[in-house]
Amino acid sequence: MSNLLQDSMSEATRLMNEGRLAEATAAIQRALGGTSAPMASEDKSGTEGPVETVDRVLERAGRPPENANLGRKGDALRSSRHYRAVPRLPDGLTNSLPTDLPNLLHGLPSSLPGGLSGLPDGLPGLLDGLPNSMPNVLPGLPDGLPGQTKGVPGPAVVPAGGQFVERSYAGPAGGRSYKLYVPSGYTGQEAVPLVVMLHGCTQNPNDFAAGTSMNVLAEEHTFLVAYPAQAQNANMQKCWNWFKASDQQRGQGEPAIIAGITRQVVEEYSIADGRVYVAGMSAGGAMAAIMGATYPDLYAAVGVHSGLAPGAAQDLVSALSAMQGGGASKPHQDAPSGGPEVSVPVIVFHGDRDTTVHPRNAEQLLAYYRTADAAPGSRNAVGKPVPPIAVRNGQVPNGHAYTRATQRDAEGRPIMEQWTVHGLAHAWSGGSSAGSYTDTKGPDASAEMVRFFDQQHPTERPSTN
């Protein structure tokens, strides 16, 4: 990112946080046009709204919805799906934007005053942190940018006999609502795994559940799924604030809230020890990576789709830079987390056509999680050699090709798995067209994450207090 653009965006961010919306808009317009933004005087009038939590009644499905069209693929149920990837940029449009501007400006809410014409269709959200009080609408912004309900289906797919409960959590760091899927096979007599799913920007638990078909897998394999919901007054586009330093630490901010939701489910349901996992997409993927880094005693493995490494950004400007070309790579022990110095297994999916979050971020995420005694060719703590990375190429019938790289520890357990999906943009691989930002032509990321989680054989972990 050029110094000119970086200075302009920094100034715009400061003005927005202070509530000086007209001046912020002018600074953004100057940034897009390549002219400098003059510094404005201080104004301390900005405010921040409270956290919202909701508690609602139980949803139960007597049978799958008519549009579910469930079929069997491999060992897991999945919906018959149609392609719904993020639209590509119209021809010639990229030439009208500065070359150092990332393909995503979802830090800009969909109600900025004035006009910023020329922005492309289909920009999914990843950043925000901007005030939610901006009047008017961007007249030049096409319909491809989903709002609070655009592109989001009605009720999420609830398999026959399953329950989709809407709950809420409140703790010292704040609170959030969340939805919990309880499969029909859960009786409370036998402990089952728990998967925590973190949605992307502009999404909600219903949308994410529908797009990933994780509830269908939970019904098939009998595990619970929790879907924390980002509050819109915490982030205008409902993005998890992965790029804020205050939301990257153990015991504070959004990591503490998500961990609190997880512990609430563990305490109130029969959850198997060492069988709690976290996964997410885009902003949710970046936050899932943070959760694995800050709470390795709580989560046994992590799934990240189209996300970034913990500490890749500390503010809006560095987030835009990280998304465009990858954040500053940091060893696990050097990055801020506040958690125990333990690395958990991680499975990463990323499309090589992703223009929202550069594919280089997948490599940096794996580098963050890789420990010295787990590197291929090294030896573990008891002197056993670590095997080399196994690489396999594959092709989804009538779909995308992919490259799968698996790293195992000295005992043969998969501890890192990287899926590079060729031709995939910023969308959930193998997802259902019932949800937003999915691509049905890729390998099934949800089923592969569940398989990877199931392959883990965790040893006794430290206390989660």
Percentage above 70 pLDDT, the chain: 59
Which range marks the domain in which residue 20 is found?
Answer: 3-48
Q: pLDDT at position 341, please?
A: 57
Instruction: Judge residue 58's burial from the number of C-beta atoms within 10 Å of its C-beta, 0-12 exposed, 13-18 middle, 19 or more buried.
Output: exposed
**Model confidence pLDDT, tens digit, residues 102-115:** 333 344 443 333 33
- What's the domain count of the chain? 2
User: Count of CB atoms within 10 A of residue 423's CB?
Assistant: 15
Of 12, 16, 3, which Cα lies nearest the Cα of 30?
A: 12
Whether residue 462 is contained in a domain is answered as no
| Residue 218: pLDDT over 80 | yes
Per the domain annotation, does 261 fall within a domain? yes
Stretch 257-266: mean pLDDT, rounded?
Answer: 98
| Digit-coded pLDDT (tens) for 404-420 | 999 988 788 899 999 99
Residues 170 and 33 in one domain: no
- Write down the pLDDT at residue 375: 66
pLDDT for res 72: 33
Average pLDDT, the chain: 74
Lowest mean pLDDT among 94-103, 305-314, 391-400: 94-103
Give pLDDT tens digits for 119-132.
333 334 444 444 33
User: Would you say 176 and 253 are in contact if contact means Cβ atoms under 8 Å apart?
Assistant: no
* 167 and 43 in a common domain: no
Look at residue 234 and tell me whether its pLDDT is greater than 70. Answer: yes
- pLDDT for res 377: 63
Q: Please report, for residues 123, 161, 194, the alpha-carbon distance to residue 272 in angstroms, rounded to integers and kept in the order given.
A: 39, 22, 8
Q: Within a domain: residue 137?
A: no
Instruction: Report pLDDT digits (tens) over 196-217.
Output: 999 999 999 999 999 999 999 9
Higher pLDDT, 454 or 139: 454
In a shared domain, residues 33 and 172: no
Does residue 242 fall inside a structural domain?
yes
- Where residue 27 falls among pLDDT bands split at 50, 70, 90? low
Residue in the block written with tokens 């078909």: 213
Of the three residues 29, 48, 67, the one that is the final residue of a domain is 48
In a domain? residue 289: yes
pLDDT of residue 363: 94
What CATH number corresponds to the domain at position 367?
3.40.50.1820
What is the mean predicted confidence (pLDDT) over 50-75? Answer: 37
Question: Residue 121 domain-assigned?
Answer: no
Instruction: For residue 290, report the phi and psi dihedrals to the nearest 5 degrees.
Output: -65, -40
Q: Output the pLDDT for position 326.
A: 67
Would residue 169 count as lying in a domain? yes
Q: By the 8 A CB rule, do 220 and 77 touch?
A: yes
When pLDDT is cut at 50, 70 and 90, the band that residue 96 belongs to is very low
Which of 85-89, 140-144, 443-447 has the lowest average pLDDT? 140-144
**Other C-beta atoms within 10 Å of 318: how many?**
17
- Report the pLDDT value the prediction gives residue 11, as an integer from 0 to 100: 74
Say if residue 338 is in the same domain as residue 194: yes
What is the percent of the chain where pLDDT is above 90?
54
Segment 287-308, tens digit of pLDDT: 999 999 999 999 999 999 999 9
206 and 351 in a single domain? The answer is yes
Is 72 inside any structural domain? no
**Band (5; pLDDT cuts 50, 70, 90):** low
